[in-house]
A and B are shown apart, each in its own frame.
Chain A
Amino acid sequence: MLELKGLEKRYPTGDRALRGVDLVVPQGQVMALIGPSGAGKSTLIRCINRLVEPTAGSVRLGDLELTRLGARELRRARRRMGMIFQEYALVERLSVMENLLSGRLGYVGFWRSWFRRFPAADIAQAFAILDRVGLTEFVDKRADALSGGQRQRVGIARALLQDPDILLVDEPTASLDPKTSRQIMRLIVELCEERGLAAIINIHDVALAQQFARRIVGLRMGEVVYDGPPADLTAEVLTTIYGEEDWSRTIRREDEEEEDPEAARDGTAEEAGGPPAPDRERLAGMT
């Protein structure tokens, strides 16, 4: 559904952040993008929705070639791509609901958004998503009054309210503690499954990437050096991506998973519940 061909980005400073990336992300696939700092992960996903303008190559979303769109068509196309940020990037001084509804800005005219007169359907949808991420009681709280995990849930909800086809996720857990990181990753993956969304998730934490993504792409110096399932991520592969290091403790083995009490408990809870029901306590209370 998303197809990158020969994507290149050269910054005015001369840095070649991307050197001809070819990548196809089919519908509904959650893909993790790993790689060292400066490998071009952020540039890659920003080139897709053109927060950063690519220098060469093509980006196709469905039938739409994104790189050649004018300003107005680009705005229409951006509605189909929800973005989730590392530092949440919520508008700090607006309420949770206002932040959520800002996901509808691409659909609503200027004056309606100025007077906060969003269509009733948008508001109903916002409440439904707020329920889903477990933040209903925070609807009128200001974004800067929330904890990190709660803010990231608002960030996720804002992206979903766009009604996107794909999520572009930039280091969603880099500012969160390990437990909250896992909850947030699980939430993103669950939501993608529920809605059949594709996702590209930039992530530093290799273990998290292996745990939650079905496909892992390794980026090094602006080039794809690995593309495959998480299970094939061996020490040699990690060395090609990141360079020489002792990887023996980083790689997740199948038997280790059972020993992690946190993962085991959450895993059973979710399997028992069938389609994942929002566990408010877990989602909102503890973060």
Chain B
Amino acid sequence: MATGGGEGARTWRRRAPKRDLAVWFGWLLGLLVTLECFRVIADVTIWEFVWDAPQQAGDLFSRMVPPRWPYIDRLWLPLWDTINIATLGTLLAIVMAVPVAFCAASNTTPSRLLVRPVALFIIVASRSINSLIWALLLVSIIGPGVLAGIIAIALRSIGFVAKLLYEAIEEIDTAQVEAVAATGAGPGQVLTYGIVPQIMPAFAGISVFRWDINIRESTVLGLVGAGGIGLELQASISTLAWPQASVIFLLILGTVLVSEWVSARIRHAII
């Protein structure tokens, strides 16, 4: 925003010349870094493998079709497990995430100095570890099976639900809260009348959205032994039974489509 010109026509530029130069230099630097990265990656790539990639992919695909459809009868139970892992894991996460969210939101936390940092740490810790890794840890702690899957999903989801929920809590309209407080309501009543109705749409949206994500995540948990359809996938791939793997892929695709549709309907109905 440098202006100048003196007596003649007044000129205007977005930036001062020095800043202009700096911006151009920044772009140049970015370009050079990109080119250098490309060179390093190219050096360590075995190009023979890349060149025949289309051939390999075609080969794999030809082994996958036709899918072995009768195999699907053995998949219904694992699929049911998968859906249960996602649903129960989400419910467990919600139960734990709601208090964490209220402790983390700066306008509802009991103590900004003590409680809020702890709540924020829980959120970060939960979010920083992928549910597959949680599952890996839990399988070695409580053994393989559906329970490990449920807890893995729950631990990963706490952070997600709590973070989005506490952001929603911080964005509420304070006038409505003030109005309820002004009637002489107690703290619990201010919470349930002034704050909860305002965050209900966000809460419902977040929960359903997370359930939707968890359906997808729970399909792979079986890869590390945490139950569900992923166990079958693991077994099929390790025995090179590609026609079975393709049945599983199609089933997962169908499940995700259904869950997407269900969550869209629920969100529509609630909000």
Q: Do A and B come from one complex?
A: yes
Q: How far is the CA of A83 from the CA of B179 in the complex (A)?
A: 7
Complex formed: what's the CA distance from A79 to B185 in Å?
A: 8
Q: Which of A85, A104, A105, A107 contacts B175 (CB 8 A)?
A: A85
Chain A residue nearest to B192 (CB atoms) is: A114
Distance between Cα atoms of A203 and B201 in the complex (Å): 35
- A98 to B192: give the CA distance in the assembly, Å: 12
Listed residue (A87, A89, A94) with the most chain B CB atoms within 10 angstroms of its CB? A89
Q: Which residue of B lies closest to A72 (CB)?
A: B186
Contact: B181 with A51, CB < 8 Å?
Answer: yes
B192 lies within 8 A of A102 (CB):
no
With a CB–CB cut-off of 8 A, which chain A residues contact B209?
A: none
Interface residues of A in 34-76 (CB under 8 A from B): 49, 51, 75-76
A93 touches B198 (CB 8 A): yes
Q: Is B197 an interface residue (CB 8 A)?
A: yes
The CA of A186 and the CA of B61, in the complex, are separated in Å by 79
In the assembled complex, B180 has its CB within 8 A of some CB on chain A: yes
B194 within 8 Å of A by Cβ?
Answer: yes
Q: Are A90 and B176 in contact (CB under 8 A)?
A: yes
Known: A93-B198, A105-B193. A110 touches B179 (CB 8 A): no
Q: Are A92 and B176 in contact (CB under 8 A)?
A: yes
Asked if B188 is at the interface (CB within 8 A of a chain A CB), the reply is yes
Contact A79 B178 (CB under 8 A): no
CA distance A90 to B193 in the complex (A): 10
A240 at the interface (CB under 8 A from B): no
Chain A residue at smallest Cβ distance from B191:
A110
Return the CB mask of B253-267 against A: 1 if under 8 Å, else 0.
000000000000000
Query: Which residue of A75, A81, A83, A104 contacts B186 across the interface (Cβ within 8 Å)?
Result: A75
In the complex, the answer to whether A106 meets B194 with C-beta atoms within 8 Å is: no
**B181-216 interface code vs A (CB 8 A; 1 in, 0 out):** 111111011001110011011000000000000000
**Known contacts A91-B197, A94-B197: A110-B189 contact under CB 8 Å:** yes
A168 and B183 CA atoms in complex are apart in Å by 11
In angstroms, Cα B181 to Cα A46, docked, is 12
Nearest-neighbour CB distance to chain B for A6, whole angstroms, equals 24
- By beta carbon, the residue of chain B nearest A80 is B184
The reply to whether A91 and B184 form a contact with Cβ atoms under 8 Å apart is no
- Contact, CB under 8 Å: B200 / A105: no
Task: For the complex, give the distance between the alpha carbons of A93 and B203 in Å.
Answer: 14
Check B193–A75 contact: CB distance below 8 A: no
Residue of B nearest to A49 (CB): B182
Chain A residue at minimal CB-CB distance from B180: A102
A113 touches B (CB below 8 Å): yes
Min Cβ gap A273→B in Å is 31
Q: For A89, list chain B residues within 8 Å (CB).
A: 173, 175-176, 178-179
B184 near A75: Cβ-Cβ < 8 Å: yes
Q: Which residues of B contact A (CB under 8 A)?
A: 173, 175-176, 178-186, 188-189, 192-194, 197-198, 200-201
Sample (21) of A-B pairs whose CB atoms are under 8 Å apart? A76-B184, A78-B181, A79-B184, A81-B182, A83-B179, A83-B183, A85-B175, A89-B178, A91-B193, A91-B198, A92-B176, A92-B198, A94-B193, A102-B185, A105-B183, A110-B186, A110-B188, A113-B192, A158-B179, A158-B183, A162-B184
6 closest A-B pairs by beta carbon, nearest first, are: A106-B184, A105-B185, A78-B184, A89-B179, A79-B184, A89-B175
